[in-house]
Amino acid sequence: MKSIAELEAIRQRTLDKVLLRKEGKDAVRVVVGMATCGIAAGARPVMLAFVEELKRRNLVNVTVSQTGCIGMCRLEPMVDVIVPGQEKVTYVKVKPEMVGRIVAEHIVNGRPVEAYTIGAAEDAR
């Protein structure tokens, strides 16, 4: 190794890969409902779309995990996005095509996509 800068470069590029293990308390959490209702409604492609999108954009302080059924099965697939310091936002009837917008507007720019939220779905009834 010829310089400290080279060491720093290795550090940076690997840190992104292992940050997951530090249980980043200030990470953005994306929680996808993956109970039977969720899976049947197609939650796995949605989860994979999130992982793909995060990968594409090189976003690292975001964790993607799964959870069980919260009860509103008719609205599955459901995704909670929890940004530290902000209110939890629940997206309903999420399709893989919607993921790009959620990541871009909510996770990157801090503006929840109102049209996709549970509030909007309720009002529409």
Site residues for other proteins per CB under 8 A? 1-4, 7, 10-11, 13-18, 20-21, 23-24, 27, 32, 34-35, 39, 47-48, 51, 54-55, 58, 60, 63-68
| CA proximity to 102, closest of 38, 59, 40, 73 | 59
> Nearer Cβ to other proteins, position 66 or 72?
66
Q: How far is the CB of 52 from other proteins (least distance, A)?
A: 9
Q: How far is the CB of 115 from other proteins (least distance, A)?
A: 26
> Nearer Cβ to other proteins, position 84 or 122?
84
Q: How far is the CB of 86 from other proteins (least distance, A)?
A: 19
Q: Report angle CA 70, 94, 78 to the nearest 5 degrees.
A: 10
**Alpha carbons 105 and 8: distance in angstroms, whole number:** 31
Is 17 within 8 Å of 49 (Cβ atoms)?
no
Under DSSP, is residue 89 helix (H, G, I), strand (E, B) or coil? strand
Q: How far is the CB of 76 from other proteins (least distance, A)?
A: 13
Token pair, residue 103, equals: 């990541």
